[in-house]
Each structure stands twice: as structure tokens, then as C-alpha cells.
Amino acid sequence: MADLRCDFVGIKSPNPFWLASAPPTDKEYNVRRAFEAGWGGVVWKTLGTDPPIVNVNGPRYGAVWGADRRLLGLNNIELITDRPLDVNLREIKAVKRDYPDRAMVVSLMVPCEEEAWRAILGMVEETGADGVELNFGCPHGMSERGMGSAVGQVPEYIEMVARWCKAHTRMPVIVKLTPNITDIRYPARAAHRGGADAVSLINTVSSITGVDLDSFSPEPSIDGKGSHGGYCGPAVKPIALNMVAEIARDPETRGLPISGIGGVTTWRDAAEFIALGAGSVQVCTAAMTYGFKVVQEMIAGLEQWMDAKGHANLDAIRGRAVPNVTDWQYLNLNYVTKARIDQDVCIKCGRCYAVCEDTSHQAIAMKPGRVFEVIDAECVACNLCVNVCPVENCITMERLEAGALDERTGQVVRPEYANWTTHPNNPMARAAE
């Protein structure tokens, strides 16, 4: 059986599945239920300075749904914990005492003053918590008070606060990054320079989930008005994966531990984050959609896949996909594929034809009897037909072997690797040596 034990910057947990700092980790009651359900760790919902903030008293969440009202994206305008600091600290201590094998990380957000950070770090240390996560991510509410993403959007602030924290605590310091920036590498580098032990990402994406077409209020609506919230859930996963990969492969931050967050809903999502370099994964929306029990599927699924593939432990898969993330200019232009339609499984819906004919390259022919066939001389291998086909594996991309003729270009496929950097059309191309 694969070993799922996780050691993330010295923070140990029986599995890599942590609950992210969010509503599910706001109270002792919830966190005990989470640990009973099998979660490997939690990042306690962000603590601030007293007096506690207040939340709106109308809806805090908005959502985007797919078929059968499946929740695809969730948006929240909830702030950090609205309970007194001492209550949270007392509860953190009690839970950690009763679940010593689970990871207990405490999320923090206090004003950008060294004394404020020093003071709260001391209090957290006394709870026996395993580490702290600096919330530089929340895009709503707190940022208007100079905290959250207001810090996370300024690399200099990130570096400064990280440095303060490292100076005032023996606990590992994780910096949580906001995706609401243009290039995730800058804040990650700043955290690294400041001495942070790790980064976690992504926090939520600034969003409006919809507009009520009767009242013309943004959703979620508070008395007819709405404010941007933080978007999370399956919809943001691709954004998160890319940002994790960018940090994992950046020369300046390579090797910096990453706790992956953003739309982790199944074991498969978690495995993908780990393959792109995440040391642990944090989950929120899946738990907020289905309850804490989902972790049992995540554990079982990850174990089964690792066993099937012969991966003994998390180290065996961590970062395995990172070397394969590259820049566009290095992609092999001599890799030529053509779409192939398996007539035995085709159900003749014609979606491939409609999209290719209307929006792409007119590379699919519709023949009598609703037989759809690829026209090699037109097919640029864009993959759109594969993506819209409702039958899995009905349309596949088949590679043309070296020496074969690409009917579209009239060129024979060459065996060697060649990319844009040396392409004759590239004005910047270096002369072949």
C-alpha cells in the first residue's frame, strides 16, 4: 500500500490533504469533525487582532453551477474569523493536544506593523501549532484595510513581513499568495527572499458570480448591492495549476516548498498538484460542497493510483511533471498529429463537424449516412473536435511518424526536434550552428 504520509517543511501529517484556511476551519467543532473524517491537517481560519471583524449579515457566498446544479465555482465575501482571538487560540490548543499527529497550521492576518506580527506569533506558538500561514491573499474586505491581497500584491511588503515573521518565531512560515496579480513569480520570489519556508497558493480569484437580471444587483446580493468576492472551486483549478508550475520551475524559487490550493475536488486533482511540485494540498470548496467525508475518496483514490503505478510514497510523484512544463517557444514543431475518428464508437452527433466547419479549419467531412471523416489536408491538429466530442476516445490525435507526408503542408515529417527559436520565420532565430 502506498505511503501517503506527508512531511511539509517539517509539518507532519498522515496524508497530504489539508483543509484550507476558510469557513470549514473556523471553529474547534468543525476541525474535530474534519480530523475524525480523516483530514491530514488544517490551516485554521485566519486570526486577526481584536476586536474581531464583523461579517455581512446577508449572503456570504455566490455560485456558478453546471449541469444538474453541480457546483463548479464558489465565491465568498466572508472575512477572517469574526470570533475573539483568545477563543480561537484556546480551541487551537485543545484540538492540537487531542490530535497530535495532524498538521495544525494557523493562518494570520494583522496590520503591516512588526509589533503586531511579533505579538500574535508568540500567542500562536503557545498553542502548540505546527506552523503559520501568512494570509496575503484575501481579495475582499481586508484588502480595503491594507491587509490580505493589498499586501500580497506588493512584493516588497511580502518580503518585509515574511522576514519579520521568521525573526519572531521558530515555527515554519508559509506565505499564502494571491492570484490577483500579473505574474505569480514576483510575490513568490519576494516570499523566498524574506526567508519564508514555503508558499501556498492560490488564494481566491476576485470575482462577481453573476448579475440578478430582475434587480440588476451583482451576486451575492446584499440589499441590492454586491461586491467582488473570492472565487474558488473546480473552475479555478487550471489557474492554480499554472501558478504552482510557474513557481516550481522558476530558477529563483525552484525547490521552494509549495502547498497547492485551488479547486482540488478529487484525488486526481491532488495528484496533479503534487506532480507539479506541491508538497501538500489544501481543500476548501469540495468540503463546503459535499462535507468532510470527501477526504476518504481522496485518500483511497490516491492510494489506488499510486499502487497501480508503483509509486511508493509522495516523494515518488512530487514534481514529476515540472520538467515537462516549458515555454511555448520550445515546443517541438516537428510533432505532427492528425485527428482520427473511430467510426465504431462514433454516435454521429456531428458536433465535431459543426465546430470544425464553423469555427476552425473545415477539416471534417460529413458524408452520406452521417459519417464524419477527417480531411488530413486541412487538419491542423487543433484538438477542438476531441474536446467537443461527447464520446471519450472516439476522436484521438494520432502522431504522424517521421517520414510520413503531412498532406496539409506537403512536407515530410522530420524526425528531429525543432522549435520556434530556430524556425526560419522567426526574426530572432539563431543561426544553426
Partner 1 sequence: MKLMQPADGSGVGPRTPGVAAGRLDAEALARNFDDIAPPLSDHEALVAADRCYFCYDAPCITACPTAIDIPLFIREIATGAPEAAARTIFDANILGGMCARVCPTETLCEQACVREAAEGRPVEIGRLQRYATDILMAQGEHPFSRAGATGRRVAVVGAGPAGLACAHRLAMLGHDVVIYEAKPKGGGLNEYGIAAYKTPDGFAQAELDWLLGIGGIEIRHGQALGRAVTLEGLRAEHDAVFLGMGLGGVKALGLGDLEGVRPAVEFIAELRQAEELAALPIGRRVVVVGGGMTAIDAAVQSKLLGADEVTIVYRRGRDRMAASGHEQEHALGAGVRIVSGAVPVALHGEDRLQAVECAYTRDGSAGLEVTGERFTLPADQLFVAIGQSLAGVPDGLAVEGGKIQVGAGGRTGLEGVWAGGDCTPGGEDLTVTAVAQGRDAAMDINAALTGAGAARAAE
Active site residue 138: yes
Nearest CB to partner 1, comparing residues 390 and 403:
390
170 binds partner 1 (CB under 8 A): no
Environment class of 196 (CB within 10 Å of its CB; exposed 0-12, middle 13-18, buried 19+): buried
Among 1, 54, 57, 68, binds partner 1 (CB under 8 A): 68
Shortest distance in whole angstroms from residue 229 CB to partner 1 = 23
Shortest distance in whole angstroms from residue 349 CB to partner 1 = 4
Which run of H or E residues covers position 371?
strand 371-374
Nearest CB to partner 1, comparing residues 225 and 348:
348
Shortest distance in whole angstroms from residue 70 CB to partner 1 = 10
Among 300, 312, 347, 371, binds partner 1 (CB under 8 A): 347
Nearest CA to 108 among 200, 229, 207?
Answer: 200
Query: For the residues of 107-146, what is the DSSP string, one character each?
Result: EE---S-HHHHHHHHHHHHTTT-SEEEEE----SSGGGGT
The dihedral through the CA atoms of 320, 8, 77, 32 has a sign that is: positive
Binding characters for partner 1, 375-394, by CB under 8 A (x = yes): ---------------xx---
- Specify the residue for cell string 520570489: 189
Cβ atoms within 10 Å, residue 267:
22
Task: State the pairing for strand pair 205-207/229-232.
Answer: antiparallel
The residues, any chain, with a CB within 8 Å of residue 304's CB and separated by 6 or more, are: none
CA–CA separation, 232 and 212 (whole Å): 20
Shortest distance in whole angstroms from residue 76 CB to partner 1 = 25
Q: What type of residue is 254? A: R
Among 268, 293, 348, 423, binds partner 1 (CB under 8 A): 348
Q: Give the range of 64-72, 82-90, 171-179, 219-227 binding partner 1 by CB under 8 A.
A: 64-72
Nearest CA to 104 among 82, 138, 132?
Answer: 132
Shortest distance in whole angstroms from residue 68 CB to partner 1 = 5
Q: What type of residue is 120? A: I
Contact indicator for 19, 284 with CB cutoff of 8 Å: yes
Shortest distance in whole angstroms from residue 215 CB to partner 1 = 16
Nearest CA to 229 among 23, 62, 45, 58?
Answer: 62
Task: Give Cα separations from 98 to 36, 95, 136, 411 (angstroms).
Answer: 11, 5, 30, 68
Between the two ends of the chain, the Cα-to-Cα distance in Å is 51
Nearest CB to partner 1, comparing residues 286 and 346:
346
Nearest CB to partner 1, comparing residues 388 and 413:
388
64 binds partner 1 (CB under 8 A): no
Shortest distance in whole angstroms from residue 291 CB to partner 1 = 21
Nearest CB to partner 1, comparing residues 181 and 355:
355
Contact indicator for 148, 179 with CB cutoff of 8 Å: no
Q: Give the range of 61-69, 111-119, 194-202, 284-292 binding partner 1 by CB under 8 A.
A: 61-69
366 binds partner 1 (CB under 8 A): yes
Binding characters for partner 1, 391-410, by CB under 8 A (x = yes): x-------------------
Binding characters for partner 1, 304-343, by CB under 8 A (x = yes): ----------------------------------------
By the criterion CB under 8 A, which residues form the site for partner 1?
A: 67-69, 347-351, 353-354, 366, 370, 390-391
Point out the residues that are catalytic: 138
